Amino acid sequence: MRLAALLTAALLCVGAAGCRREEPALPAPPAQAPSPAASSFPYAEAGIADLQAAMERGETTSHALVQAYLARIIALDRNGPRLNSIIELNPRARTEAAALDAERAAGRVRGPLHGIPVLLKDNIDATPMATTAGSLAMAGFRPAGDAFLVERLREAGAVVLGKANLSEWANFRSTRSTSGWSSVGGQTRNPYALDRSPCGSSSGTAVAVAANLTVAGVGTETDGSILCPAAVNGLVGLKPTVGLVSRSGIVPIAPSQDTAGPMTRSVEDAALVLAAIAGRDPADPATMDNRVLATFDYAQQLRGASLRGVRIGLLRDRLAISPEAAAATERAVAAMREAGAVVADAQIPTQGQWSADELEVLLSEFRPALERYLRQRQAPVASLDELIEYNRRNAARTMPLFGQELLEQAAERQGLAAPAYIAARTRARRLAGPEGIDAALRDGPFDVLVAPTTGVAWPIDAAQGDRFPGAGYGAAAVAGYPALTVPMGHSDGLPLGLVFIGPAWSEARLLRIGHAYEQLTRARHPPTFRASVDTPPAAADGNAGR
């Protein structure tokens, strides 16, 4: 089938019940390498600035970029290794790209994202596509408007390429879930080894960006859902301060901790995407803090970034995540010291003391936040009780691998006026923030804290669920503070990430320090689509590292 016909068929079929392919919940990972056409992708590892410059020189167009990425999606996500990272493509993507090309030809360029393809996690509203949160209960639900951050992306000139698969309900459904699986999208696979977990819940976004199926992506996080999949897929991921990026138009878990953020192949690209999506939104009171008005040109802040004199606190107790993570972190610390950073051991004095309170907060906030979203947008299910009942009636399709224990526990909570919830929320935020991260930074004093983001990706195991090794970012999630993961190396070809944690509203500093570390080590390598870690890698993309 010719490329144009193939793309047209794909755009018509993706997300339509009559065209969706039927597959087992966990098909065996294919052993074949990607096709030669996929391996010679002309835009492999290209960043936003690279592509913007190429468009300015007339060497490519936004329409050509969209065509190329759509063809690569067909080659790698639908065929080839079948990464299964994308739920739906935007049927207007090529038309939108052509309109942006016309603007450029007329002398109007909106900014660094003008004409750049971007992928969204499928819990973020973006017309005309569905928002499913990975749940069959929401299949075909098409909100009438865009999320606020999508409005900002489109105003900045980005082309929304499509919606990415995710851990169903952003991994807030079961206590023994399998990350990257949803009843709508099936199982997303890690492109570094197809039998390994992509982590979650922003699984498809991470895999698509890592595999060069898009230039950049936007994920969401409540606790680890940007940072973990970014780390195990060899990406940069930024979880902003809660309130820097609006949550309106995003399927929620808990407003105390929810945020959206960029997932990219470089710190510079993360800075460019963050600048586009950050901003005040009257529909999200958390964004009305005056500090949001001081949003930086984050990419400008990266110029001249250096580690010389930067005081870094190493959370050494987090090295127990795994031997591989510990060894990679020690190498990262040595490199930063060599570059002039001052690194000393640090400790969050309250480490882990917030765990029970955090769970209580998430369970208590979930129902009111979710039901507000569902009712405002006239979704197919209007309440948590309806969702639970839908899953029970359709258990063979919705719960073939794991149940909905977290949904059921959330249904039992007494609401936001319950004394137990109020006490837990206050205690968790205090223990993780002022008495946790802030205390550790002050005791150094340190400019930033670092730790391994998590361990290497674990095998996908439908019977046992995730074998999560632990993480270095939990305090930032609970405190609502920013955290940035940057690639720091590999073990058996599987990526490892280093997380940088700072106080509230310190995104500019984290990006500057993370960029300096990234330029020093250049640890990211593109995936090679092995069937498993025991399988020899296929040839990497020809333009890797450009």
Peptide bond into 487 cis (omega under 30): no
pLDDT tens-digit map of 125-137: 999 999 999 999 9
Q: Does some domain include residue 402?
A: yes
Residues 524, 338 contacting (CB under 8 angstroms): no
pLDDT tens-digit map of 173-205: 999 999 999 999 999 999 999 999 999 999 999
Establish how many alpha carbons lie within 13 A of residue 79's alpha carbon, considering only the half-sphere containing its beta carbon: 12
Token pair, residue 19, equals 């065209």
Give the CA angle between residues 182, 45, 492 to the nearest 5°: 65
pLDDT at 215 over 80: yes
Res 321: pLDDT: 97
Q: Does some domain include residue 415?
A: yes
Mean pLDDT estimate for the chain: 92
Res 39: pLDDT: 54
pLDDT at 9 over 80: no
Q: What is the mean pLDDT of residues 91-102?
A: 98
Of the pLDDT bands very low, low, confident and very high (cuts 50, 70, 90), residue 293 is confident
> From the CB of residue 208, how many other CB atoms can be counted at a distance below 10 Å?
30
pLDDT at 469 over 60: yes
- Which is it for strands 181-182 and 186-187: parallel, antiparallel or unpaired? antiparallel
Q: Does some domain include residue 34?
A: no
Total of domains in the chain: 1
pLDDT at 427 over 60: yes
Q: Does some domain include residue 116?
A: yes
Residues 401, 182 contacting (CB under 8 angstroms): no
Percent of the chain with pLDDT over 70: 91
Q: For residue 315, list its beta bridge partners.
A: 346
CA torsion 288-295-112-115 (nearest 10°) is: -10
Q: Report the SS3 class of residue 68.
A: helix
CATH number, position 459: 3.90.1300.10
Token pair, residue 76, equals 């790698």
Q: Does some domain include residue 28?
A: no
pLDDT tens-digit map of 20-65: 333 333 445 444 444 434 458 999 999 999 999 999 999 999 999 9
- Backbone φ and ψ of 485, nearest 5°: -105, 140
Q: What is the mean pLDDT of residues 463-476?
A: 96
Query: How far is the C-alpha of 532 from the C-alpha of 519, rounded, in Å?
Result: 30
pLDDT at 544 over 90: no
Token pair, residue 403, equals 């149940």
Q: Does some domain include residue 20?
A: no
Residues 511, 261 contacting (CB under 8 angstroms): no
Give the CA angle between residues 267, 270, 275 to the nearest 5°: 130
pLDDT at 210 over 60: yes
pLDDT at 13 over 50: no
479 burial type by CB count under 10 A (0-12 exposed, 13-18 middle, 19+ buried): buried
Query: How far is the C-alpha of 512 from the C-alpha of 518, rounded, in Å?
Result: 10
- Mark residue 419 as left, alpha or beta (left: phi above 0; alpha: psi -120 to 50; beta: remaining): alpha
Catalytic sites, residue numbers:
121, 201, 225
The b/e string for 401-437 (b: 16+ C-beta within 10 A; e otherwise) is bbbbebbeebbebeeeeeeebeebbebbbbbbbebbb
Residues 158, 192 contacting (CB under 8 angstroms): no
Strand intervals (E) in 243-354: 259-264, 311-315, 342-346
Query: Cα dihedral sign for 317, 318, 322, 328?
Result: negative
Res 410: pLDDT: 98
DSSP annotation string for 265-297: SSHHHHHHHHHHHB---TTSGGGGSGGGGG---
Percent of the chain with pLDDT over 90: 88
Q: What is the mean pLDDT of residues 68-73?
A: 97
pLDDT at 290 over 90: no
- Which is it for strands 311-315 and 342-346: parallel, antiparallel or unpaired? parallel
Q: Does some domain include residue 528?
A: no
How far, in Å, are 305, 342, 383, 516 from residue 308 at the CA level? 9, 8, 53, 10
Residues 359, 340 contacting (CB under 8 angstroms): no
For the chain, the first-to-last Cα distance in angstroms comes to 31
- Which is it for strands 448-452 and 181-182: parallel, antiparallel or unpaired? unpaired
Query: How far is the C-alpha of 194 from the C-alpha of 525, rounded, in Å?
Result: 16
Res 534: pLDDT: 87
pLDDT tens-digit map of 395-408: 999 999 999 999 99
pLDDT at 359 over 70: yes
DSSP annotation string for 391-405: HHHTHHHH-SS---H
pLDDT at 261 over 70: yes
Residue 114 domain boundaries = 3-14+42-521
Name the more confident of 371 and 17.
371
Q: Does some domain include residue 418?
A: yes
Q: Rg of the chain's alpha carbons, rounded to an integer?
A: 21
Res 157: pLDDT: 98
